[in-house]
Amino acid sequence: MQDTIVVVTDLFSSSNPQKPAAEVISVSELSGRIHNTLEGRIGRVDVEGQINSPKLGHHWYFTLSDGDSKIDCAMWASRVSAIKPAGWEPSQGDQVVVRGTVGHYAKYGKTQIYVERIKPAGDEKGKLQQEYDALIKELQEAGWFDVAHKKPLPTYPKRIAVITSKSSAAVRDVIETARQRWPAVGLLIVNVPVQGEASAPSIIEALQRVDNAAEKLGIDAIIVTRGGGSLEELWSFNDRGVVEAAFNCNTPIVAAIGHESDTSIIELVADHRASTPTQAAMVLIPDADELSQMIQHYASRLESSVQREIERGTS
């Protein structure tokens, strides 16, 4: 019992220890701690707000506000120069989204965002989605997606043109699938950029040139393909010119753009849509093993029929 009382007494006596003397630090050291805490705890953020009081010189300075709160922003010249080629800069009242880190500017004692990237709010994907929906509606009403426009695929193609990037995983998938299923089929790889400004014109030219030379080159079908990506990265395959070039092709087209959940407009006007590059190849290229089994089956049936006829003739 005595030992227990001693322990309890010790616990109570140590519950209110004497506080150590407060640490005295400089203003600069405190500012540094604030900056490190903000940057370390919050990290990189995307923030939407309205541009106020922009000063767009060598560096860009402005305030971001949502009506109830505001925060200062600074974008250094090195970051500004990266977006200037796009030909856009913010102005008073613009609704924007900025990406950056939050820090504390010691000289003026203020918290601000160090901006790495800025764009109009709802731009890019929002506008692209609107364009996508509008073109879908227009072409659907014009009948471009109707089954009546779909050309039959060749049963045993001898040569297939594959329009994609020559260094992509998509082209490797097509080549490997062809090798496994029917090594005798010929593949003509037509190298094009599959995203970026040069992509759509290159794909249009490739479709037109391949289609025009199909008979001369012995091309029975075309695969247009690329791997997955964002709406922006896949946008070339929603370009009106690309879609029109595919629609006007006389050579059957199989399109496989992005992942299975993605739907590019070129896939809707193509003669067949595949979910992956591998499936696109499988749709067009027969399986040698299956054909071999089918031939053996028919050979066996023919042999049985002949045998029966011989037996009838001798009976």
In terms of Cα–Cα distance, which of 69, 110, 108, 65 is closest to 90? 65
pTM metric for this prediction = 0.60
pLDDT at 219: 97
pLDDT at 133: 87
pLDDT at 88: 79
Q: Give the Å distances, CA to CA, from 201 to 81, 161, 219, 242.
A: 27, 18, 22, 8
pLDDT at 5: 36
pLDDT at 18: 61
pLDDT at 84: 74
In terms of Cα–Cα distance, which of 242, 285, 290 is closest to 264? 242
Judged by DSSP in three states, 186 sits in strand
Under-50 pLDDT residues of the chain: 1-14
Please state, in angstroms and rounded to a whole number, the distance separating the CA atoms of residues 236 and 79. 27
Please state, in angstroms and rounded to a whole number, the distance separating the CA atoms of residues 277 and 254. 10
pLDDT at 315: 63
pLDDT at 6: 39
Sheet harboring 186-191: ordered strands across?
186-191, 159-164, 221-226, 253-257, 272-273
